[in-house]
Structure 1
Amino acid sequence: MKQLYLVLLTVILILGSACSSDKVNRNASNSIQLSQTYKNEAEGFVFKYPQEWQTKESATMTEIIKIQSPDGNAKLSVMKIVTNPFGILTEDQAAVENTVNQMHKFIALRDTKLGEIPVRELVYQTSGLKGDDISKNYWYVLERDVYQIICSFKMSERERYEPMMNAIMESYTITRSANDLNKTSSINSALTAREAKELLQNWVDTHQFPASVSITDGDGNTHKRSGSDAEYYVFQLQGLHRIYDILVDTKTRELFVHDTGKPEALEPWYQKYIAPYANTNDNNNKGTGNFIDKNFEWVEKPRANNGNIIGKIKNISSGDRRKISVTFLLYDYQGNQIGTAIDINPMLKSGTVWSFTAQVQNAKVTNFELAEINSQ
């Protein structure tokens, strides 16, 4: 009997300790004052945020609302997206982690819920030029609508801002059911040319290429292509060894490449013909991975180094090239362009190599891409 009493006493103490700990956590969350409320009836969500935080103008057509702390070191935005960044909505966690690590530093991926709505949470550290932001992302799907919540804060301010972000997310409520939202959603309407290009650009941004690539604007009209009765917006992918026609289905939003006489699914084509060369770094051969154009090839591809973008290019033309400039587009953690970086060389003789250094002055830069290489 005495032993049974001791066991029961131990259990009570453990349960009491757990309840006490849970109470402390709840009190810590409740101590954060969220006196402001943002409600979006059209998209069906509401959340609270601190009094001193500010709402900011949306930077892209997919962004619904953005708020940030007074010092700008913490931000939250809600986006309605038209693609599947990082392959986040798949069940292949290893593939998601691998894709994230191509641009950032993967931390965690898990399934959770907002009320009764399943949510996928991804956490990573930005690994751009500064690499000092934590980004906590949440995705949920209502019928064909995909929403992304981005919570980011400076690594150095994690102790201060992570509890605030957690409190905001605890207040985040989906106010309409998936069925109700779908009745008034415009996602099932015809895809616009602008939406189609953004869909394709998002796909490009989450894939690696052996050289810097870009997408043309297209003519804004839909077209039919041989081998299919579907209507497509047509864009061109430039920067590889030749130009490719990329198609966006106006109804299904699927992406295709028109390379063999009929539309092929873009992702399998990429994995077969482009991905194997994406990490090529053969300094002795002018392979697909190093070729830039008829005048230049990479000796060392661009990379971030101590706040600069550095690399090496070789003049492979038969003559000297003058007034060479290499220009990079600079982006913040959300993919917004916030400037350029450039380096200039008066002359590069045929067969010689130039080691360029493009200085980056803006501390908010987390990513970059080659814009152009010009010469005379």
Structure 2
Amino acid sequence: MLPAPPAPPPSASAQDPPILLLRADGVIGPDCVLIPDGVVLVRGDRILAVGQKVATPSSARVIQLEGVLAPGFVDAFTRLGAEGGISEASSWSTPRLRAVDALDPDAEVWRERLAHGVTAAQLVPAVRDPDGDPIRVLAGTAGVVASGGRDRLLLAVGRSTVGLISGPFTSREGGPGSLAGAAEALGRSLAADPGVVGAKALVVVDSAEGVRAGRAALADRDLAWLGRGDPAAYGGLLRGELLGLPAIDDGNWTPRRIETWRRLHAAGVRIAFGTGAGGSWNGPGALRASAMAFARATGDAAAALAAITRNAADLAGLGRGYGRLAPGARADLVLWSGHPLDAAARVRSVMIAGRTVWSAAPVAREEEE
């Protein structure tokens, strides 16, 4: 298994944790491409270097691993792992609601995520309940939680969640009943208090009109998009931008959905998969299943892996320190028996912030000097 960092000797400084050199049959590099016979150098909770050959400090503990090291998967959007629906049904505007306040850290789904190589998930407030009514234009703020380890709350106040979806829908407390009304209500709210939407926003849309309304109202924000409805109808507007799409399972797989992914990829849209949207829920295994289907449809395995690692981390607002094996990134690593997109591969061990938090069986040995 991935090793636990050894305890430092009494004379070692707390600012100078031990160094691990993890050598594996393969490593998924910063560009999500496999590096054969790769190495990851880790100190404490951070990655120092990644590659085929890296300078090895004399003090490093060298560990030989059988399998492929990959970044931990990130669930780009979900409400699994929280109590209730992460929403306040009494109003269309609840910008102070925080998704992490509904966190259930002991829910079984967090252990299931570890077993599937998922090391973090973004909890997102609901903009609309499964029964369809009402809409919440300002639904609250998302938050990001690690699947295990210490200090699991990675981002308490993340992206502001904004709902700009097509109507009609039921109005409450004078709230909007259509997309036009939702856009107008958002504009009024921003004019009265620009702080109701933070510097980063996740805009839930199901039409080109919703995309345009979001851009017009939130032009000075860092935007990511969560797609509902038919993304083929509006995805072409999002070239170069992040679009969260629901992961597939046997119940929602269709040839048209896969073809839509292929066309969005060809158009330059950066796709990230999540396991929860609206009334649809999938288990943690759906992330890898979706990435494998994406790879088959596009022929781009690197982009497929990015959709459940670095793109998902970026959509969650975590930045470049997560969702990738790169110098400076947090040491969230998963050891697989083979390439993560090989259907026969299985998770062997999971490390979060430099510490092993889950293991299926021993798979590591320390090299002899």
TM-score tier by shorter-chain length is under 0.3
TM-score, normalised to structure 2, is: 0.24
Q: Which has more strand, going by share of residues? A: 1
Higher relative contact order (CA 8 A, sep 6+): 2
TM-score (norm. length: structure 1): 0.24
Larger radius of gyration: 1
